[in-house]
A and B are shown apart, each in its own frame.
Chain A
Amino acid sequence: MRTIEAALGLLIIVAALALALGAARLLAPVPPTGLGVTLALIGWGATVAADGMTGRALRKEDRAAAQPWRAVFYLLLALTLAASLPLVVDLLNLATVAGFPVGYYMAAQGLLILMAILAFRAATSLDALDRAAAPAHEDD
């Protein structure tokens, strides 16, 4: 399952590059995707792939290999979330919650809170993998 996830991530990256080079024209008369969309798609593909690779390493109980993949996953997730927001902000702004247009809310508060939550999750996860990978040399 994790291998499929990693492969799916790679597939998304390939599709993003193909769309950027104008492959969609083979099916419909649409222009190539712009740099922003391409970066966001590549980011999501790489994030999915990194999560798959982490899962693969953990399934093999290779925590030393899982640790850097987990770090790459959080890193890519943060970058991709930031890169994706401007692409969907208009769409999100169609909805309003408690007076907040949702797109604006995400840029002003939502994404920030999400980053903080991710930071705690990353800290817990990476610290645990660190301890598991090098119990004899853990400095705490």
Chain B
Amino acid sequence: MLIGTETLLPALTAVLLIAAVAAVLSRSNEAAAQASGGAAFGPVGGGLAFAGLFAFAVTVLLPGLTHQHGFDGLIPFTGLTGGLLLMAVLVGPALARSGAATLPELIGQRFGRFAHALALVVALAATGGLLLGALSVGTSIAARIFNVSSATAALVASAAILLLVLPGGLQSALGSSRPITILVGLAFLGCVALLSFSLIASPVAHLGYGAALHKITPAELALIESGAVDFGTFKPFLREFLTVDRLNWALLTLCLMGAIAALPPLIQATGAFKPAATRRGLAWALTFVVIALTAVPALAALTRLETYRVISSGPTFNDLPDWIRRGSETGAISLHGTSLGLVDTVTQFVVGGATSIDAVSAAMADRGTRSETRWQRLDPAVQASVLELARKFQASPGRPLADRWTAYVDTVATAAAAAAGNLSGKPDLASVAIEPQDLLLALPHTAGLPPIVSSLVIAIVLSAAAVLAAVLIATLSSMLVRDGTAAIFGREPGNTAEVALIRVAAIVLTLGFALTAAVVPVPTDVTFIVSLSLAAAGLLPALILAIWSPRANSWGLAAAMVAGLGLGTYYLAGTALYSVSFYETWHWLSSAGSDAYADYEMARDIWIAAEGDDRAAAYADLAARTTGSLWSPGLANWFGIAPAAAPILAAPFALLIGLLVSAVTPRPRTPFLTAFDRIHGRTRATAAVAP
């Protein structure tokens, strides 16, 4: 449980109130504004609102990724910023000029009803996946912080989201994004500056952390020499291409760029800019994102260096410095998988009547998958020691941190270290783990700042999550109503009916997605990858054909989308799920070469000859050879391309198919060509043909 609970609720209420006031000020009963953002913002204000959509990723997802993977964790940095540049160049003011509010509507104007419906299905799937992933992470954090069940967190999150969506759909959600972006910027940059000043005496972390980087490699070498490193998990901070190889580093970056440029909620949010300000607005949004993003590696590097410094000084568990003790109190820093925060959480369960390990396990499951997994990973003896200490804490509440830390080290940490085979009484690097998603959230408390600061940072980050979810809900509900009715009935409902339907859809979708995220265990990395792959493989080619190819017709569009999604899905599923048969079929395209295939054939012969349990074990060996990770291919691959980089094959293939099919089928009819000209701000009579 993160600290600051007493001030947390007022802080969260205050920040959400600011967002809600901004949402009400941007209210609208116009269907177009509900769906498109209302073309109300200039470049700087709109850029701020747009950048707010990345606030949750910058503050929660990316610091942990960079901290864990070092250089390889920088893929999203180039991917996000490059994607925004691509969007400014590729899409620009196209949506506003066309008069369309959504991406499927734009496709519909260019290619007709069937294409409209096809684009709608893919856009809904891509946006829905992102929403589910974001809600899953958000509710899991909220459940841990407020010490409530995931379902309760989901319901409260739903209320917050609806507060931002109902006044004016996308317009009010983006309106609320502006103040939250400013607050996130102040909180995030303030925290990083504070950390930087306290560790390297430089308040400008962006420039100053070079000094920390300079010390990181020698510190890592010293730790390796002293044997304090587990090579199974340790990744040197500056060492490149340990998680992802060189080729896939580039390909994953390109895929992310393509996905960002074609992501339906982002494209729809460009409708918030005044048409003439769209490109400059996106450039401003990119600038704000860059200002925040460039501070993230500083946070990760400084945290790493300070951890190295502590471990290399060789303290016992009891001598660990205050920042680790406070970090452990928040649950963000764990020792051999346990923390003081975990004991505090179990104490709450004991107060609530949980008296056995089974009862605690059930209560943990109620807090979400993450908490349950961490609890289940513990050795039974460690679980028993946690429960015993929790009972003592319950009997004597309000003990100071120093007392609780000593009791924790003497019982739980000692038991956990023994279970992990660490009998030295000292922590090594692998035994001190920092929860990736809590790197920023726990920073103020870990640094010893007053609880109100900690509460404010948490409240601001949770509000940023609510804003992101609100924008995704507004996008989904408007696409569902506006494009759904247009695709099915051939026309949109009247303004009043459409606004009412959008609001009803927003309520239903919010509750449905929030409860699903709370109840169903969602593998967020897979969800995000599938959503982004849908956008890059299915929607990006469609968007390029719609905006840049006057010759493209509905046949070409449909063929492109089907080909892109088909190839992308085949490659992703084939290399990740059915890798043995994929490698059998395509071994001649694999980057592993013929020697690897000869080794594989020997293993396959063993599998064919084996029987019973041996057969299953032999197949598992085959699968282990052919399957890699999402980021790094096993034997089953084409040209060494990782499963998550499938769109790098799918998108060009889709474009090629789309252009070929368009070339051999009839030219698009005049209304569709008129729509093309409108996108480029021209009329049919003065139209110039694009290359």
Contact B287 A116 (CB under 8 A): yes
Interface size on B, residues (CB 8 A): 62
Q: How far is the CA of A112 from the CA of B247 in the complex (A)?
A: 20
CB proximity of A114 to chain B, nearest CB, Å? 9
A64 within 8 A of B: yes
Stretch at the interface among A10-18, A22-30, A102-110: A102-110
Closest Cβ neighbor of A71 among chain B residues: B89
**A109 close to B294 (CB less than 8 A):** yes
* A58 touches B (CB below 8 Å): no
Chain B residues with CB under 8 A of A130: 93, 680-681
> Complex Cα distance A136/B680, Å?
12
Least distance between A45 CB and chain B CB atoms (Å): 16
- Within 8 Å CB of B639, what residues of A? 35
Q: Does A8 contact B (CB under 8 A)?
A: no
Mark A76-97 against chain B: 1 for CB-CB distance below 8 A, else 0. 0011011111110110010011
Contacting residues, chain B, for A62 (C-beta < 8 A): 688
Given A82-B254, A111-B81, A137-B682, A119 contacting B238 (CB threshold 8 A): no
A98 and B84 contact, CB distance less than 8 A: no
B683 within 8 A of A: yes
Q: How far is the CA of A18 from the CA of B79 in the complex (A)?
A: 29
- A-contact bits for B87-110, CB 8 A (1 contact / 0 none): 011101100110000000000000
B269 to chain A, nearest CB (A): 16
Main secondary structure of the interface of B (DSSP, over half): helix
B54 to chain A, nearest CB (A): 12
User: Which residues on A sit within 8 Å (CB–CB) of B286?
Assistant: 115-116, 119
CB contact between A120 and one of B277, B283, B683 (< 8 Å): that residue: B283
Closest chain-A Cβ to B418's Cβ sits at a distance in Å of: 39
When the two chains form their complex, are residues B250 and A104 in contact, meaning their CB atoms are under 8 A apart? Answer: no
Q: Is B82 an interface residue (CB 8 A)?
A: yes
Query: Per a CB cutoff under 8 Å, which of B74, B90, B640 touches A107?
Result: B74
Given A98-B207, A138-B681, CB of A75 within 8 Å of CB of B253 = no
Tell me the chain A residues, 38-85 only, with Cβ under 8 Å from chain B: 39-40, 53, 62, 64-65, 67-69, 71, 74-75, 78-79, 81-85
Given contacts A35-B640, A64-B682, A112-B77, 17 further A-B contacts (CB under 8 A): A39-B250, A74-B85, A78-B85, A89-B71, A93-B238, A97-B210, A100-B210, A103-B240, A104-B71, A104-B213, A107-B71, A108-B74, A115-B78, A116-B290, A119-B279, A119-B287, A137-B682
Question: Top 3 nearest A-B pairs by Cβ distance?
Answer: A140-B276, A99-B210, A64-B688
Give me the interface of A with B, judged by CB distance under 8 Å: 34-36, 39-40, 53, 62, 64-65, 67-69, 71, 74-75, 78-79, 81-87, 89-90, 93, 96-101, 103-105, 107-109, 111-113, 115-116, 118-120, 122-124, 126-127, 130, 133-134, 136-140
